[in-house]
Amino acid sequence: MSDKSPAAIRERVRRFIEERIYPIEHELEDLPPTDYLRRMRPLMDRTKADGLWALGHPKEIGGQGMAFMDYVLVNEVIGRSEHAMLAFGTHSLQDSIMLHLYADRHWRERYLAPLVAGEVFPSIGMTEPEVASSDPTQLRTAARLENGHWVIKGRKWFTTWANRAAYTTVFARTEDASVPAHSAFSMIVVPTDAPGYKIVRETPVLGMKGGHCEVLLDDVRVPENHLLGPRGHGFKIAQKRLGPGRIFHCMRWLGQAQRAFDLMAKRATERTAFGGKLADKQLVQKMIFDSAAEIQACRLLTLDAARKMDAGDEARVEIGLIKVVGAKMVHEVIDRAIQVHGAKGVTADTPLERMYRHARFARIYDGPDEVHIQTVGRRILDVYRQGGDWDFGARDAQHAS
């Protein structure tokens, strides 16, 4: 096996995380952005030197150009630690592809290379506190064109890492009420130092700091060429970003589940109660069984969605399925691992309690469960309404040929 084969890279990434990131995870928790980045820099420099930086970014924008399916599997390992995305420079993939495909040349030149290199950071502002943002047609942030500038007004929240970002990609209504909602919104690149851009607060989540910022856009003015893609294409661009993004999320959740599974199994084989190891108790064996079944089922669903996407299919039903199944799976597996650890499981002596809190977010971000369930159900039923059927085998056969 060559040092650069996908399997070897996956193994090198795993070793790096276990040897260099696990031991310092506690020190990294909830540090302010500048201290956090200072602490992360040596790790980032190291992965760059080792040829493990930006593995999935296309070569033409400064990445290693790893093939999509190989990179999907690397993401599973990267998922084991919440800090690994930054350490390996994978955090910027979706944003750099958006800039690469849709930004004006001027902006590509300004941000793209430093973004891929981890010298500047992106953030994305869709969600708003005042409206149910799982229905983004309701979003109220608006941008009007005035003398060659977009003037943007609105309030966003959960703009993750706005407090370390060079810019926020703001989702705003640019067209008037006569335009159908799905063609009325655009994405606009807004530098975080633009006058009128104000971080109001960082919202703590389940007792943690995750850089989730509330942002006031108070008549922020940016030049017209900060628009990503054509006017009114916000939903189309968001969709391009979200599809592969959800596959990477799911793979990282599988990485979290694997870590919890390892800890659970190890604890069960070491701890003794009622005259025998926990591993000998049938109820604990059932927890191992349920977790193994859920992890592998979710892996296969996710890899299937990834293969369909790699073959050029949008795979919207498959992506909706994995988003819901994956978020539930990671939550359940970590929950069982905590149970097998007893009181220790809810202390910070193991990574499980923090992983558990992160897992809870998975059912909300990138669209809450209910929205994906509704969309998948509706899409499948639409096929039957039109006289067809949703033939699972035929879909697979179509992609196999």
Ligand X SMILES: Cc1cc2nc3c(=O)[nH]c(=O)nc-3n(C[C@H](O)[C@H](O)[C@H](O)COP(=O)(O)OP(=O)(O)OC[C@H]3O[C@@H](n4cnc5c(N)ncnc54)[C@H](O)[C@@H]3O)c2cc1C
DSSP classification of residue 195: T
Instruction: Write phi, then psi, for 214 (nearest 5 degrees).
Output: -95, 130
Q: Which residue, 233 or 246, has its beta carbon nearer to ligand X?
A: 246
The answer to the question of residue 368 lying near ligand X (CB under 6 A) is yes
Size of the site for ligand X (CB under 6 A): 22
Closest CB to ligand X among 210 and 345? 210
Among residues 6, 18, 31, 134, which is the contact residue for ligand X, using CB under 6 A?
134
**CB contact burial 287-297 (16+ within 10 A = b; e otherwise):** bbeebeebbee
Residues 71-130 that bind ligand X (CB under 6 A): 124-127
| Least separation in angstroms between CB 105 and ligand X | 26
Q: Are 232 and 182 in contact (CB under 8 A)?
A: no
* Cβ closest to ligand X, residue 290 vs residue 370: 370
Query: Which of 364, 381, 383, 394: binder of ligand X (CB under 6 A)?
Result: 364
Shortest distance in whole angstroms from residue 263 CB to ligand X: 23
**Residue 239: CA count within 13 A, CB half-sphere:** 13
DSSP 205: B
CA atoms of 94 and 246, how far apart (whole Å): 11
CB of 121 or CB of 261, closer to ligand X: 121
Q: 47, 96, 141, 159: which one contacts ligand X (CB under 6 A)? A: 159
Strands 227-228 and 212-223: unpaired
Query: Which residues 204-223 are close enough to bind ligand X by CB under 6 A?
Result: 205, 210, 212
Q: 124-125 and 167-173: which strand pairing?
A: parallel
Task: Decide if residue 234 touches ligand X (CB under 6 A).
Answer: no
- Would you state the torsion angle of the CA atoms of residues 87, 92, 97, 103, taken in this order, to the nearest 10 degrees? -140
* 22 sits near ligand X (criterion: CB under 6 A): no
Q: How far is the CB of 385 from ligand X (least distance, A)?
A: 19
- d(CA 272, CA 280) in angstroms, rounded, equals 9
Rounded Cα distance between 266 and 113, Å, is 43
> Cβ 253 to ligand X, closest distance in Å?
13
Of the pair 96, 160, the CB lying nearest ligand X is at 160
* 361 part of the interface to ligand X, by CB under 6 A: yes
Count how many Cα atoms sit within 13 Å of the Cα of residue 381 in the half-sphere of its side chain.
Answer: 6
Q: Kindly provide the b/e burial profile for residues 182-215, where b requires at least 16 CB atoms within 10 angstroms of the residue's own CB.
A: eebbbbbbbbbebeebeeeebeebeeebbbbbbb
302 and 230 in contact (C-beta within 8 Å)?
no
d(CA 144, CA 130): 20
> Closest distance between ligand X and the C-beta of residue 203, in Å?
9
Task: Confirm or reject binding of residue 370 to ligand X (CB under 6 A).
Answer: yes
Closest approach, Cβ 202 to ligand X, in A, equals 12
Q: In angstroms, give the least distance from the CB of 168 to ligand X.
A: 9
| Structure tokens, 354 | 């923090």
> What is the 8-class DSSP label of residue 204?
P
Contact 353, 260 (CB under 8 A): no
Residue 50 and residue 71: Cα distance in Å, rounded?
17
Residue 127: CB minimum distance to ligand X, A: 4
Cβ distance to ligand X smaller for residue 314 or 370: 370
62 or 211: whose CB is closer to ligand X? 211
Q: Candidates 158-166, 216-224, 254-262, 324-332 — which segment interacts with ligand X by CB under 6 A?
A: 158-166
Among 79, 118, 122, 367, binds ligand X (CB under 6 A): 367
Complex with ligand X: residue 191 or 367, whichever CB lies closer: 367
Closer residue to ligand X in complex, CB, 53/158: 158
Q: Which of 229, 371, 380, 395 binds ligand X (CB under 6 A)?
A: 371
Contact call for residue 374 and ligand X (CB under 6 A):
yes
Among 110, 121, 123, 111, CA closest to 168: 123
Task: List the one residue from 133, 163, 169, 302 that touches ligand X (CB under 6 A).
Answer: 133
Q: Decide whether 156 or 226 has the Cβ nearer to ligand X.
A: 156
CA quadruple 136, 364, 165, 156: dihedral sign: positive
Residues in contact with ligand X by the rule CB under 6 A: 124-127, 132-134, 158-160, 205, 210, 212, 361, 364-368, 370-371, 374
